[in-house]
Amino acid sequence: PGKADSDEDGIPDGYEVANGLDLLNPSDAGLDPDSDGVSTLDEYLAGTNPFYSNIDYWDSINISVQAGEPFALIDFGAALTESLDEYGRAWNNFSVPGISNSSITLSNILGVSTGITVQTISAFSGASTGNGITSGSRYSLNSVKSDYLWVGANGSETGKLVISNLPLGETFTFSLFGSRNDVGDSRLTRYTLIGENSDSGTLQAIGNQDYVVNLTVQPDALGQVELQVFAENPDIRGHLNAIEVV
């Protein structure tokens, strides 16, 4: 570019090129592509990345939890959780197995938005309204433990979620719960998390009441973590009922 600021929007051309902005569009100075409440111009003035949220999650969620306790909870499946659990915690609902219209923004256990999003990037086979264990579970609400997202086809199908807007350099533990009433077969489910590092584990969903798989990762350079869910071959289906984010 021949000028320091071709579109005269207050943002130098070098910054616009480096961050994929339009050199000839002054209106992009007022945009907020990462939805953190800070305009592109203010991101430039602060020396930050306009495509990575600058929300300080630990301040913005305004919450204090004990070490090892979740700050956000997600119920997967078609039955919605609309009441607080026995500890007075709010739950997020993720009910769409496909890619379209699947994105949600997580609230913390007090019901306050965190800015962290969850979205399907590879479709699950379906969303169940029931058939999970409803007695003796680690969760008090039937709507949490009885419904689920599922994948099938003996390990040839993989449901994938991406969790975005996670703060860089932080370590997160995801406690994953899968459950299915006993139908006389095996539903060994593998969960894999991929971020700056990766972690993986399996869980037998049939008859499961209390067991969770705990996977620990740091977000990648984009502030994202990918979760993959599939049935271990030769088992016919894998299940995802709930996630606790610690």
Q: What is the pLDDT of residues 137-147, one digit of tens each?
A: 788 888 898 89
3-state secondary structure (DSSP) of residue 119 = strand
Rounded Cα–Cα distance for residues 166 and 54 (Å): 10
Q: Which residue has the higher pLDDT, 58 or 126?
A: 126
**Residue 64: closest CA among 11, 110, 131:** 110
- Give the residue-averaged pLDDT of 165-183: 91
Neighbours of 3 (CB within 10 A): 10
Question: Which tens digits make up the pLDDT trace of 21-41?
Answer: 898 999 999 998 877 677 889
Q: Which residue has the higher pLDDT, 200 or 37?
A: 200
**Residue 38: CB partners within 8 Å, gap ≥ 6?**
32, 46, 48, 50, 54
Helices (H), the chain: 13-18, 40-46, 57-60, 142-145
3-state secondary structure (DSSP) of residue 88 = coil
Distances (CA, A) of 100 to 15, 97, 173, 206: 33, 9, 27, 29
pTM of this structure: 0.74
pLDDT tier for residue 1 given thresholds of 50, 70 and 90: very low
